[in-house]
C-alpha cells in the first residue's frame, strides 16, 4: 500500500479497553495494533469506549474503526450496531455474525444445522440450575466435561469437571459471568486454532497453530502471560489433516456469516483423530502471545501488514466491499 492509499484511510480509531471481563487483554491488543498502524503512516488514535462516548467518533471525524475489543460490548454485535448507526466502517464481522459467534450456544445450534462437528452439550438456563438439573448433565454427556459461560472469552469462568460433586461450584463460577451456563463434552486430544481472512467465497484459511499448554490447561494465564505454553506453526499435522482443519474452519466461518477476519478453535480427539469445532472468535487477540499474528507470519504476512490489511477491508453491513 502506497502513501496515498494509507492517507485515503483517513482518521482511524483503534477501539481498545472497553468494559468486558477481557478489558486488560483488549488494552494489550489495542496497543499493538495502534503502534503497527502508526508505523505504517496511518493517522490512528486509541479510543476507549469505557471512558468516552461512541458519538465522539463522528464528532471528531473518524473515518474508520479498528475494533480491538474483546468480549461483551465489543465482540457481541453491540459496538458493531452503534458503528452501523454512525455510518463508520469497522473491521471484522457485522452485527448478526458477531452476536451469534459470541454466544457459544447459538453458534453450536448453527453448526449442528450445518452438520459441522462440535462437542455434545447441554444448556442450563437460569431456571434450570438445581442440583437435580446439574446431576443430569454428566448422565447425558459423560465425564469429564467443561462448564463455561457461553458469552465470555479468553477461558474466563471455565472449569473442567471430573465428578458430580464439582458441578455446583463449576456452574456457580460460570454464572458469575453469564446467567446462562454451557456444559460441554470434554474432548481429550490436541488443541488447534485456525485463523481466516476475508469474506464469503474469497475467504481463506491461514496456517493451523497447535497449542501445547502445560497439562493441557490453556487457561487465561497460559493464554496471555505464561512462557510455558508452546505453539507450533506449522502445526506438524499431516497435510491432509491440516487441510481438513482449514476446510472445517472456513465452513464454520461462512455458516455464521463472518467477514473480515476470525479464528476458529478446535480439538483433534486422540482416540480417533476426529476434529471438533469449539468456537469462533470474531475479534481475535492481537497481543504478543496471540495466535492470528503467529499464523499470519507463517503465511508471510508481517504483523504491521496484517493490521493494515484488516483496516483496509473495514466495512459496514449495509455497504459491504
Do the first three CATH levels of 3-91 and 100-117+188-311 match, i.e. the same topology?
Answer: no
Of 115, 171, 107, which is closest to residue 138 (Cα–Cα)? 171
Q: Once rounded to an integer, what is the mean pLDDT over residues 262-276?
A: 97
Residue count of the chain, please give it. Answer: 321
Q: What is the pLDDT of residues 83-109, one digit of tens each?
A: 999 999 999 999 999 999 999 999 999
Q: Is the pLDDT of residue 41 over 50?
A: yes
**Domain ranges within the chain, ordered by starting residue:** 3-91, 100-117+188-311, 121-185
Sign of CA dihedral 31, 42, 93, 198: negative
Q: Is the pLDDT of residue 297 over 90?
A: yes
Q: How far is CA 125 from CA 130, 140, 149, in A?
A: 10, 16, 11
Q: At what angle do helices 131-141 and 167-175 cross, to 10 degrees?
A: 110
SS3 readout for 127-166: CCCCHHHHHHHHHHHCCCEEEECCCCCCCCCCEEECCHHH
Task: State residue 229's pLDDT score.
Answer: 82
Cell triple for 212: 501445547
Residues with catalytic annotation? Answer: 22, 154, 224, 263, 265, 279, 281, 285
Q: Once rounded to an integer, what is the mean pLDDT over residues 65-75?
A: 94
Q: What is the pLDDT of residues 149-185, one digit of tens each?
A: 998 765 789 999 999 999 999 999 999 999 999 999 9
Instruction: Please give the Cα distance from 282 to 174 (Å, whole number).
Output: 21
Q: Is residue 258 within 8 Å of 281, Cβ to Cβ? A: no
Task: State residue 27's pLDDT score.
Answer: 97
Give percent above pLDDT 70 in the chain.
94
Q: Is the pLDDT of residue 21 over 90?
A: no
User: Domain 3-91: which CATH class?
Assistant: alpha beta
Q: Is the pLDDT of residue 211 over 80?
A: yes
Q: Once rounded to an integer, what is the mean pLDDT over residues 51-78?
A: 96
Residue 133 burial (C-beta neighbours within 10 Å; 0-12, 13-18, 19+)? middle
Instruction: Please give the Cα distance from 31 to 12 (Å, whole number).
Output: 14
DSSP E strand boundaries for the chain:
11-15, 43-47, 64-67, 121-124, 145-148, 159-161, 181-185, 189-197, 204-205, 209-212, 230-232, 261-269, 275-281
Average pLDDT score over the chain: 93
Cell triple for 282: 470474531
pLDDT tier at 216 (50, 70, 90 boundaries)? low
Right CATH for 100-117+188-311 from 3.30.470.20, 3.40.228.10, 3.40.50.1970, 3.30.450.40:
3.30.470.20
Q: Once rounded to an integer, what is the mean pLDDT over residues 117-138?
A: 95
Task: State residue 224's pLDDT score.
Answer: 46
Task: State residue 221's pLDDT score.
Answer: 54
Q: Once rounded to an integer, what is the mean pLDDT over residues 61-81?
A: 96
Q: Is the pLDDT of residue 225 over 70?
A: no
In sequence order, the 6+-apart residues with CB closer than 8 A to the CB of 297 are 233, 303
Q: Is the pLDDT of residue 218 over 80?
A: no
Q: Is the pLDDT of residue 257 over 70?
A: yes
Q: Once rounded to an integer, what is the mean pLDDT over residues 229-252?
A: 96
Give percent above pLDDT 90 in the chain.
87
Task: State residue 217's pLDDT score.
Answer: 53
Q: Once rounded to an integer, what is the mean pLDDT over residues 274-295?
A: 95
**In the CATH scheme, what architecture does the domain 121-185 have?**
2-Layer Sandwich (3.30)
Instruction: Please give the Cα distance from 142 to 120 (Å, whole number).
Output: 9
Amino acid at each position: 500500500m502506497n502513501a496515498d492509499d494509507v492517507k485515503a484511510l483517513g482518521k482511524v480509531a483503534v477501539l481498545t479497553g472497553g468494559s468486558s471481563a477481557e478489558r486488560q487483554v483488549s488494552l494489550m491488543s489495542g496497543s499493538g495494533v495502534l503502534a503497527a498502524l502508526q508505523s505504517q503512516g496511518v493517522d490512528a488514535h486509541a479510543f476507549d469506549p469505557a471512558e468516552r462516548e461512541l458519538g465522539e467518533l463522528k464528532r471528531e471525524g473518524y473515518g474508520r474503526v479498528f475494533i480491538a475489543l474483546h468480549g461483551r460490548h465489543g465482540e457481541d454485535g453491540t459496538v458493531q450496531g452503534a458503528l452501523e448507526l454512525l455510518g463508520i466502517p469497522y473491521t471484522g464481522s457485522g452485527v448478526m455474525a458477531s452476536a451469534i459467534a459470541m454466544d457459544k450456544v447459538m453458534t453450536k445450534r448453527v453448526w449442528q444445522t450445518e452438520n459441522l462437528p462440535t462437542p455434545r452439550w447441554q444448556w442450563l438456563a437460569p431456571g434450570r440450575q438445581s442440583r437435580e438439573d446439574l446431576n443430569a448433565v454428566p448422565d447425558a454427556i459423560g465425564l469429564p466435561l467443561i462448564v463455561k459461560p457461553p458469552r465470555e472469552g479468553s477461558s474466563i469462568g471455565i472449569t473442567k469437571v471430573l465428578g458430580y460433586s464439582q458441578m455446583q461450584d463449576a456452574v456457580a463460577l460460570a454464572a458469575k459471568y453469564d446467567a446462562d451456563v454451557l456444559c460441554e463434552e470434554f474432548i481429550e486430544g490436541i488443541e488447534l486454532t485456525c485463523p481466516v481472512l476475508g469474506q464469503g467465497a474469497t475467504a481463506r484459511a491461514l496456517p493451523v497453530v497447535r497449542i501445547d499448554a502445560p497439562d493441557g490447561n490453556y487457561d487465561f494465564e497460559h493464554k496471555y502471560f505464561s512462557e510455558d505454553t508452546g505453539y507450533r506453526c506449522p502445526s506438524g499435522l499431516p497435510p491432509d489433516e491440516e487441510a481438513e482443519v482449514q476446510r472445517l474452519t472456513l465452513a464454520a466461518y461462512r455458516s455464521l456469516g463472518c467477514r473480515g477476519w476470525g479464528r476458529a478453535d478446535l480439538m483433534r480427539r486422540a482416540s480417533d483423530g476426529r476434529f471438533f469445532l469449539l468456537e469462533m472468535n470474531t475479534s481475535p487477540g492481537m497481543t504478543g502471545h496471540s495466535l492470528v499474528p503467529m499464523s499470519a507470519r507463517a503465511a508471510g504476512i508481517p504483523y504491521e501488514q496484517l493490521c493494515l490489511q484488516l483496516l483496509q477491508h473495514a466495512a459496514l453491513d449495509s455497504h459491504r466491499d
